[in-house]
Amino acid sequence: MSASPELGVCYYPEHWPEDMWISDAQSMYKNGIRWVRIAEFAWSRIEPEPKKFDWKWLDKAVDILGNAGLKIVMCTPTATPPRWLINQMPDMLAVDQNGQKRKFGSRKHYSFSHKGYQKESQRITQAVAERYGNNSFVQAWQTDNEFGCHETTYSWCQSSLQEFRNWLEVKYQSIEKLNEEWGNVFWSMEYSSFEDIDLPNLTVTEANPAHHFAFRRFGSDQVKNFNSQQVKIINQFSPNRPVSHNYMGHFVEFDHYKVSEDLDIAAWDSYPLGYLQNMQSIAREDKKLLFECYNIGDPDFQAYHHDLYRGMGRLWVMEQQPGPVNWARYNPIPLPGAVRMWTWEAFAHDAEVVSYFRWRQAPYAQEQMHAGLMHCDNSPAMGSKEALQVSKEIQEIELPPTQKAEIALLHDYEACWMTEIDGQTQDFHYTRLMLDFYKSIRTNGGSLDIVGKNTDFTEYKLIIIPSFVHLDEEIFSRITLSGAKILAGPRTGVKTNEFQIPHNLSLEGLGFKVTRVDALPQELPIEVEWKGIKGHMNVWREQGQCSGTSDGKGIDDMPVVTTGNKGSYLCGWPDENLLKAIMKEQMLSAGLTTVSLPEYLRVRQRGNLLFFTNYGKQKVSIPKEYNGEFLLGQRELAQSGLAILKST
Amino acid sequence: MSASPELGVCYYPEHWPEDMWISDAQSMYKNGIRWVRIAEFAWSRIEPEPKKFDWKWLDKAVDILGNAGLKIVMCTPTATPPRWLINQMPDMLAVDQNGQKRKFGSRKHYSFSHKGYQKESQRITQAVAERYGNNSFVQAWQTDNEFGCHETTYSWCQSSLQEFRNWLEVKYQSIEKLNEEWGNVFWSMEYSSFEDIDLPNLTVTEANPAHHFAFRRFGSDQVKNFNSQQVKIINQFSPNRPVSHNYMGHFVEFDHYKVSEDLDIAAWDSYPLGYLQNMQSIAREDKKLLFECYNIGDPDFQAYHHDLYRGMGRLWVMEQQPGPVNWARYNPIPLPGAVRMWTWEAFAHDAEVVSYFRWRQAPYAQEQMHAGLMHCDNSPAMGSKEALQVSKEIQEIELPPTQKAEIALLHDYEACWMTEIDGQTQDFHYTRLMLDFYKSIRTNGGSLDIVGKNTDFTEYKLIIIPSFVHLDEEIFSRITLSGAKILAGPRTGVKTNEFQIPHNLSLEGLGFKVTRVDALPQELPIEVEWKGIKGHMNVWREQGQCSGTSDGKGIDDMPVVTTGNKGSYLCGWPDENLLKAIMKEQMLSAGLTTVSLPEYLRVRQRGNLLFFTNYGKQKVSIPKEYNGEFLLGQRELAQSGLAILKST
Amino acid sequence: MSASPELGVCYYPEHWPEDMWISDAQSMYKNGIRWVRIAEFAWSRIEPEPKKFDWKWLDKAVDILGNAGLKIVMCTPTATPPRWLINQMPDMLAVDQNGQKRKFGSRKHYSFSHKGYQKESQRITQAVAERYGNNSFVQAWQTDNEFGCHETTYSWCQSSLQEFRNWLEVKYQSIEKLNEEWGNVFWSMEYSSFEDIDLPNLTVTEANPAHHFAFRRFGSDQVKNFNSQQVKIINQFSPNRPVSHNYMGHFVEFDHYKVSEDLDIAAWDSYPLGYLQNMQSIAREDKKLLFECYNIGDPDFQAYHHDLYRGMGRLWVMEQQPGPVNWARYNPIPLPGAVRMWTWEAFAHDAEVVSYFRWRQAPYAQEQMHAGLMHCDNSPAMGSKEALQVSKEIQEIELPPTQKAEIALLHDYEACWMTEIDGQTQDFHYTRLMLDFYKSIRTNGGSLDIVGKNTDFTEYKLIIIPSFVHLDEEIFSRITLSGAKILAGPRTGVKTNEFQIPHNLSLEGLGFKVTRVDALPQELPIEVEWKGIKGHMNVWREQGQCSGTSDGKGIDDMPVVTTGNKGSYLCGWPDENLLKAIMKEQMLSAGLTTVSLPEYLRVRQRGNLLFFTNYGKQKVSIPKEYNGEFLLGQRELAQSGLAILKST
């Protein structure tokens, strides 16, 4: 991507009087907005009664927006099926884990597995795609909205049950095979027919992890299938327009790599302050981070997701927080400058478009406390000033094309599900672990790619595998064949693809075979020493046999890092300081340079440009190691400060 | 009210052998008791089988009590419908928010909306009223018992759904109007018929706040309707007897002002120790208060509720905690003297009667660990000694008539619901805010009235509006016309009556227009300085435009207090110390005098008498500013100490 | 018991290829294992289809194991009814407290009250007993597995409801009697027929405690009945083989004394690390203990349960934790030596057999992270080394016969249920209280018996009654007739057998009559002083009238200990230090000797042998008071150290 990045906005013409549309469109353009996303919640206005369409208003809105110079992202409205559809088929509503039907009255009230709703989803998609597929103002598409939001990936309804049984039958062919793969002999859980199998909720104690795991895979496939059905229709009726979906932050319920196979653009919705609150409430709490960054966000969280999703397609931020939101436990006001910094940070990580949510704050319904670029009364809100600034800055700076990084961080959704299903400690949190590794590279000055298991591993100099639970020989050999230096972390290679312990637990060539696990609360870390650095293994510590060389030692006499002929292995979850030191050594020995960054300063390299962001309260100075011309900002950065350095 | 206050007691003749009744009645009288409440849980004894009444025992009990000199509060027994009624109409049982039918086996097992039960409630009310309406011993009535207790205000049953739809149809007339008022276009939530509308539970994510708000209003109206049906019958068959209902503490689920319109006496049940525990578990926790006052109660909580309910009718305390209770998380023994102090405090706040719950501790069933004035074995418990003391003291002291205060604190149930529905931070708690404002007036030595929006605002010198979310022009103009000084607090005037953001957010004449909100955890307050006092805004802080004069400033450059031509506005929720200082200035500038009271000392003025209470562990001295003759107590007060000063 | 103790193991031949069975069996024997428990989860392999039995594999496994020298504990497989049985009678599944049916897919998925399943349980029991009852290798039996595990004691299903009504009718004969005993007049809860009575869940507020209590008793009887049905059949078909059931730790939902009446062996499953975590999560948390003992366990917890269950029959540990488990919140690795120490500790407390769970770690299904003696790949795990060591040590040391202790600690399940039903503070936890008393005896060097109310109290010198809520005259007189010194603790004798407050609250002869209770959070203890020792009453403090002598006094002017002509009474729950001092005095005055032990050192006397265990991180020295010959270990003990001293 070497074109200039652009700004966008989410807009709901159906929420405002028609006589505001023209001035809204013009105002957007004047504010530097070039993209506008519409219609993702508009089904009840597009089709007020079954099969009676009202295109007039949407035609007009498209015309007005397009004529004002805006490119349109048209959406399928399937996230909000209208009330009359529920009357027609009440069983399309999802059922929650406790067996309760989830009612109409908000959004996302459907089961992915309901055949009737799938048909309706295709019908309305086709209607919209036929109408606007060749409209010259419509330049891109979005399917549905935030798949899985509000715990909707899985439904515990009859449709889901029936499809799950079908899915299992396709996968396992015979019930005997399923019994064997799941180990159902364990508690006399053997089935004599696929019709015997229930969804894995409401069991007396936990269901078989293989049962849970199969249901997760099934659920993920249902999302992929639902999305794929829409994409096929859009591609047919709207050729040459890229199709996107807007993913979420720290959301791992379905395999985004698989869903992205059908998409062109892997977009996500970036709400740094809301996500900081939520992340802290689901992973182990970090009060320091929570309090110090409450109005600016986690310094690694946004970058991590940019890198994660750009590993799946062209990157967009489809919704960017422009002010306070309404849905976190606490909803602070972003620090002045934060909206600008977040936007630039997305561009640094190769985003093509950053689109603010939303143009104007809604005066009614569920999100009336969610800021827009404009207040309800159409006066400009804090975000609009910063968006305008960015729109000017991006015209001044030419961004170089994106390039492959030298470091790869391996991410896998199925591995994540395995750690969730079989936690062994309530504090093991996959994304928390990924972020810790991600941070350790970044605080050493590194830029990296986050990649899936199907990536091309060649050309990387260092491949980090924080935790790939069911890493198998095929994948591992592709990784090792890359010739890169390899560091694998705890819980790697300890399960088969069917959630069993493999016959051979030894990770060939990493020098360690785990024999037992110390799964501990944070207050009880294991003291270790590694190359003169005293530190701790937190949450997770492995004991086993070292078959290679070993570095460092814990008070349990176990190594910190082992190394075999294929790479190194980390026998636990190190604390931040220790992990940073280990990562530095890995980077150096892979032939990379490192620069130790201050706590809240981050850098991202894009071609010959370096983008610096300061998330910390203190002013910091960009280290002397970085030289060149400042295209934006300067060496000293205040909080929410940004600098772009053209390296010389 | 200038008659002498009196003591009462709650008594259950059906729990005790008939041969104890006479001595019980005589013993009550000897202990200074003049009122006795009976029969609120006695339906199964009054009507053991459908339509077969057994009046004998109750006739006898009434006779014995009345002949002993006691005045009787007769109750309708509708809080405990008998088992045979559930057999007749099982769908009268309420359904909880998760869709589960709530079973028989305790109390309050009915849905307010069930037409069949409404008929039964009227039938049994009429039966009791016909029987005792003109009985000379029966001097007052109570309807049902503690409306809404145990989360029973709302039922999620079919009756409730049907009545809700009817209620909506009456209110909105057309479904188009409802869609527009609720903003249902937002997520394609538009309905085509009132029959489409569900109760707002079990939705995928939160339902429309307007939907929730309508359901709250509906639920409140159902309580009013249920009570009103009974009152009409009682008034018909028992003319000239006042009718009461016993409300609860920190309970806000229905609009008590509306229910009170049909009542003569606004009674409440005062359990200082239980409420202290409960309040701390629902609002932000205050460990210091919880621990220092665990056996005496919050120094403002009782007074607040006395003032709240006396704003709705003649004030009684229908149930007064006489010893340890059984229903809080922890159930300490009240400090010696506390029962006496609480009783006198009620009289200070214009209570006509304080009635202890209960005469004798029950040896069986749910409340056997709840103290009475007497132990199970009929020996006197700690409360009886203190009750006897009060009964003597009240004969010595003539209480002056109650008078209108100079300060009014505006309370509104709908405003409270709005803050609950749309919290924006999990720490915003309406009653907590009210109590903070209440306390700030009291610790400056002030006495006040708590008033509803329909009150007569004239003659007040200072009107405090802690948070009236949907304050509209009509009410605000009545307030400003009073000529009083006005101080409004955060979240005032920011919504319409239909839970939308109004077109004009500016509170005309208060000098501030809010543009965004910082909704923060307690650990992250905003530092401010006001007239040399350094303090904080906690939980809630507003940013916006000042259109008047402004005092104080935060590190966010926003004012602390603004003032326009109609009054002042507080741009957030100040800490205790800062709020006290601001309130002092308000009081002084309204021409009132202030006296700064020690932390746990409080004073209430009734006519020319001043009632002092000390809730603190330390001995305190009543400030020199207060002079006169001590009718009870003296200048120095130990914990649970009480003094009555006749001002000179 | 004077025979040598033996080791056992839990084995699942159905989980492994038949060609491994012989080497497994031989390996067990070589490792010193003499008992092997099999088949408790094997129903689906014994009877793969209805009435089609497959005995071949099990016959072969029995043969192989037996021929290798192992004695077999054969189990009934009723803990895991197969899927086809659920298809036959879906209503055999239990229903949870919220009314949700609990699905097939794990284990224990049945209602104890389902008549159809009771028949099936008897049918499969008879099939297994007929087949192996006289097999010479089968030397003992186990019924089902861990009754009540995963909250399965109570089912809220229709079968349970019907049986409960029948049970009530048998117990109370007439509905009038039930109404009276329960005090149903209280809230018009009177029933006119047994058919009116529901299960006590889902009521609006708490159901009558007598209702709950009856349901607990009923539920406990259902377990006894279910077990008894199986035992009768086993006794018929397998004469002279002892029958056991494996109980759990801190599990009190049914009356184990009653169930044990039908058993020969009272076994339990000892998981010191998992139980430490769980216990801390249900009772008041003790971070110090949790953190200091996280990888070795509570120093009293195992001993307590050994003493508890050996009070009901011959003691076995049927499952002994051999390494990390998988089911606690956190799952640490046991400290080296811990497995050996736990095993010896069981023998010290008269266990005949300690059986490790399990032979080899399962590579699939729910417990794949649960350690066995062997790893999945058949290499020895940490536990096997320690088991082997014990197997050698027990051959060297002859254990003397067990003997009656001089101190008895009275335990009662019904009393426990009463404190759970009617907590009065959320921190009162019966087992926590028992453990505090237990510890206070042990840290004074005492060994003791835990006994039920039907025990023979004669010959004890000191009888401790920590809390026997409904202690009645009959039991109390049997206790006092023993002539032992008696100390009763808080909440003793304050309820009748029907959960009412008795007419006379005075515990005749203990010198105290409680009149009210201070039920406080831990942060608000009552300061007391007793014989120069300053301490606190925590959680629970009683006020009342002293009718005997009194020792110590609190700031509430109430005594610490009272003494009447029959014994002493503790008016609250003392802190650890104070309780230890009081217990010392009790022991001394009962003519026993005391030795104050270091914090984590414990001793158990068995005949002339003293067994010392050190659960603490610090090395400790066995006090000089103990002399003799060390058969194992020495005077100084490191953590997890064990010493056996033959006293001289």
Beta strands in C477-608 (DSSP E): 485-488, 512-519, 526-530, 533-546, 549-554, 559-563, 568-570, 572-574, 601-606
Instruction: Tell me the average pLDDT of chain A.
Output: 96
Chain B contact partners (≥3 CB pairs within 8 A)? A, C
Select which of B120, B319, B406, B414 is catalytic.
B319
Measuring CA to CA, how many Å separate C86 from each of A121, A348, C52, C222? 37, 59, 16, 20
The residues near A370 (Cβ < 8 Å, ≥ 6 apart) are: A324, A325, A326, A327, A357, A358, A361, A362
CATH assignment of A6-149+220-396?
3.20.20.80
Q: Cis link prior to C606 (omega < 30° from 0)? A: no
How many interface pairs between A and B have CB atoms less than 8 angstroms apart?
Answer: 165
Shortest Cα distance from B327 to chain C (angstroms)?
Answer: 7
Measuring CA to CA, how many Å separate C470 from each of A370, A419, C475, C476, C501? 59, 48, 10, 10, 9
Shortest Cα distance from B102 to chain A (angstroms)?
Answer: 16
Mark yes or no for CB contact A183/C45 under 8 Å.
no
Mark yes or no for CB contact A524/C331 under 8 Å.
no
Tell me the per-residue pLDDT of C145-202, one tens digit each, with 9 for 90 and over: 999 999 999 999 999 999 999 999 999 999 999 999 999 999 999 999 999 999 999 9
Which of chain A's residues have a Cβ under 8 Å away from the Cβ of C379?
Answer: 515
Which of chain C's residues have a Cβ under 8 Å away from the Cβ of A203?
Answer: 102-106, 109
Mark yes or no for CB contact C324/A422 under 8 Å.
no
What pLDDT does residue B2 have?
47
Q: Band of the pLDDT at B280, cuts 50, 70, 90?
A: confident
What does the alpha-carbon distance between residue A384 and residue A372 come to, in Å, rounded to a whole number? 8
What does the alpha-carbon distance between residue B622 and residue B247 come to, in Å, rounded to a whole number? 33
Q: Are C254 and C193 in contact (CB under 8 A)?
A: no
Tell me the per-residue pLDDT of C333-388, one tens digit each, with 9 for 90 and over: 999 999 999 999 999 999 999 999 999 999 999 999 999 999 999 999 999 999 99
Mark yes or no for CB contact A202/C331 under 8 Å.
no
**Quick one: tokens of B255?**
């609009």
CA dihedral C197, C200, C204, C207 (to 10 degrees): 90
What does the alpha-carbon distance between residue B577 and residue B555 come to, in Å, rounded to a whole number? 18
Q: Are C537 and C522 in contact (CB under 8 A)?
A: no
Mutation target among C40, C45, C83, C149 for the A interface, most CBs of A within 10 A: C83
User: Which residue of chain B comes nearest to A377, CA vs CA?
Assistant: B503
**Quick one: tokens of A317?**
């931020």
Select which of C146, C253, C393, C406 is catalytic.
C146
Instruction: Tell me the average pLDDT of chain C.
Output: 96
User: Is the pLDDT at A2 greater than 50, yes or no?
Assistant: no
User: Which residue of chain B comes nearest to A288, CA vs CA?
Assistant: B523
Looking at beta carbons, which pairs linking A256-260 to residues 24 or more positions away fall under 8 Å? A256/A308, A256/A309, A256/A312, A256/A413, A257/A312, A257/A413, A257/A452, A257/A454, A258/A220, A258/A221, A258/A224, A259/A147, A259/A223, A259/A224, A259/A227, A260/A312, A260/A313
Mark yes or no for CB contact A188/C82 under 8 Å.
yes
Look at the domain C407-589 and name its fold. Rossmann fold (3.40.50)
Please report the DSSP string for C147-165 in residue order: TTTTTTS---SHHHHHHHH
Which of chain B's residues have a Cβ under 8 Å away from the Cβ of C200?
Answer: 105
User: Is the pLDDT at B407 greater than 50, yes or no?
Assistant: yes
Collapsed DSSP state (helix, strand, coil) of residue A153: coil
> Does A319 participate in catalysis according to the annotation?
yes
> Does B319 participate in catalysis according to the annotation?
yes
What does the alpha-carbon distance between residue B375 and residue B379 come to, in Å, rounded to a whole number? 5
φ, ψ for residue C287, nearest 5 deg? -60, -35
Within a 10 A sphere around the Cβ of B583, how many other Cβ atoms?
Answer: 26
Alpha helix locations (H) across A89-237? 115-132, 158-172, 175-182, 209-237
Within a 10 A sphere around the Cβ of C505, how many other Cβ atoms?
Answer: 19
What pLDDT does residue C402 have?
86
Give the pLDDT mean for C408-424: 97
Mark yes or no for CB contact B192/A83 under 8 Å.
yes
Q: Are C574 and C535 in contact (CB under 8 A)?
A: yes
Select which of B6, B120, B146, B414 is catalytic.
B146
What pLDDT does residue A506 have?
63
Measuring CA to CA, how many Å separate A76 from each of A14, A80, A268, A330, C381? 15, 10, 16, 32, 57
Shortest Cα distance from A155 to chain C (angstroms)?
Answer: 16
Mark yes or no for CB contact A366/B187 under 8 Å.
yes
Which of chain C's residues have a Cβ under 8 Å away from the Cβ of A422?
Answer: 326, 368-369
User: Is the pLDDT at B284 greater than 80, yes or no?
Assistant: no
What share of chain A in percent tops pLDDT 70? 99
Of C505 and B62, the one with more pLDDT: B62
Q: Are A545 and A514 in contact (CB under 8 A)?
A: no
User: Is the pLDDT at A505 greater than 80, yes or no?
Assistant: no
What share of chain A in percent tops pLDDT 90? 96
User: Is the pLDDT at C226 greater than 80, yes or no?
Assistant: yes
Tell me the per-residue pLDDT of A37-57, one tens digit each, with 9 for 90 and over: 999 999 999 999 999 999 999
Mutation target among A57, A366, A375, A386 for the B interface, most CBs of B within 10 A: A366
Tell me the per-residue pLDDT of C55-68, one tens digit each, with 9 for 90 and over: 999 999 999 999 99
Mark yes or no for CB contact A152/B184 under 8 Å.
no
Look at residues C508, C307, A368 and name the one whose alpha carbon lies nearest to residue B500.
A368
Query: Beta strand pairing status for A572-574 and A601-606?
Result: unpaired
Question: Which helix (H) or strand (E) segment is C476 a member of?
Answer: helix C473-481
Burial of A597 (0-12, 13-18, 19+ CB in 10 A): buried
The whole-angstrom distance between residue B146's C-alpha and the CA centroid of its chain comes to: 11
Q: Are A79 and A106 in contact (CB under 8 A)?
A: no
What does the alpha-carbon distance between residue B210 and residue B629 come to, in Å, rounded to a whole number? 55
Domain C6-88+114-151+224-396 in CATH: superfamily?
Answer: Glycosidases (3.20.20.80)
Look at residues B132, B135, B138, B139 and name the one whose alpha carbon lies nearest to residue B233.
B132
Match 């490119």 to its residue by tokens. Answer: A71
What share of chain C in percent tops pLDDT 90? 96
Q: B210-247 as b/e, with b when 16 or more CB fall inside 10 Å?
A: bbbbbbbbbbbbbbbbbbbbbbebbbebbeebbbbbbb
Beta strands in A414-511 (DSSP E): 449-451, 462-465, 485-488
Q: Are B562 and B511 in contact (CB under 8 A)?
A: yes
Q: Are A109 and A78 in contact (CB under 8 A)?
A: no
Question: Which helix (H) or strand (E) segment is B383 a member of?
Answer: helix B382-396
User: Is the pLDDT at A508 greater than 90, yes or no?
Assistant: no
The residues near A636 (Cβ < 8 Å, ≥ 6 apart) are: A619, A620, A621, A622
Look at residues A561, A564, A586, A563 and name the one whose alpha carbon lies nearest to residue A573.
A561
Select which of C6, C319, C414, C542 is catalytic.
C319
Which of chain C's residues have a Cβ under 8 Å away from the Cβ of B98?
Answer: 98
Mark yes or no for CB contact C330/A183 under 8 Å.
no
What does the alpha-carbon distance between residue C509 and residue C567 come to, in Å, rounded to a whole number? 6
The residues near A327 (Cβ < 8 Å, ≥ 6 apart) are: A274, A367, A370
What does the alpha-carbon distance between residue C68 and residue C359 come to, in Å, rounded to a whole number? 15
Burial of A461 (0-12, 13-18, 19+ CB in 10 A): middle
User: Is the pLDDT at B1 greater than 70, yes or no?
Assistant: no
User: Is the pLDDT at C406 greater than 80, yes or no?
Assistant: yes
Instruction: Tell me the average pLDDT of chain B.
Output: 96
What does the alpha-carbon distance between residue A110 and residue A329 come to, in Å, rounded to a whole number? 26
Shortest Cα distance from B570 to chain A (angstroms)?
Answer: 18
Of A523 and C450, the one with more pLDDT: C450
Query: Beta strand pairing status for A609-614 and C243-247?
Result: unpaired
**Residue ranges of the domains in chain C?**
6-88+114-151+224-396, 407-589
Which of chain A's residues have a Cβ under 8 Å away from the Cβ of C101?
Answer: 202
What does the alpha-carbon distance between residue C341 and residue C351 come to, in Å, rounded to a whole number? 13
**Quick one: tokens of B174?**
């057309």
Tell me the per-residue pLDDT of A7-41, one tens digit each, with 9 for 90 and over: 999 999 999 999 999 999 999 999 999 999 999 99
What does the alpha-carbon distance between residue A302 and residue A322 come to, in Å, rounded to a whole number? 14
Collapsed DSSP state (helix, strand, coil) of residue B195: helix
Shortest Cα distance from A583 to chain C (angstroms)?
Answer: 27
User: What value, to the nearest 5°, has the Cα angle with vertex C45 and ends C223 and C235?
Assistant: 45
Mark yes or no for CB contact C520/B294 under 8 Å.
yes
Mark yes or no for CB contact B81/C499 under 8 Å.
no
What pLDDT does residue A285 have?
76
Look at the domain B601-647 and name its fold. Immunoglobulin-like (2.60.40)
Of B200, B424, B427, the CB nearest to A369: B424
How many interface pairs between B and C have CB atoms less than 8 angstroms apart?
Answer: 165
Give the pLDDT mean for B153-157: 98
Shortest Cα distance from A332 to chain B (angstroms)?
Answer: 5
The whole-angstrom distance between residue A503's C-alpha and the CA centroid of its chain comes to: 33
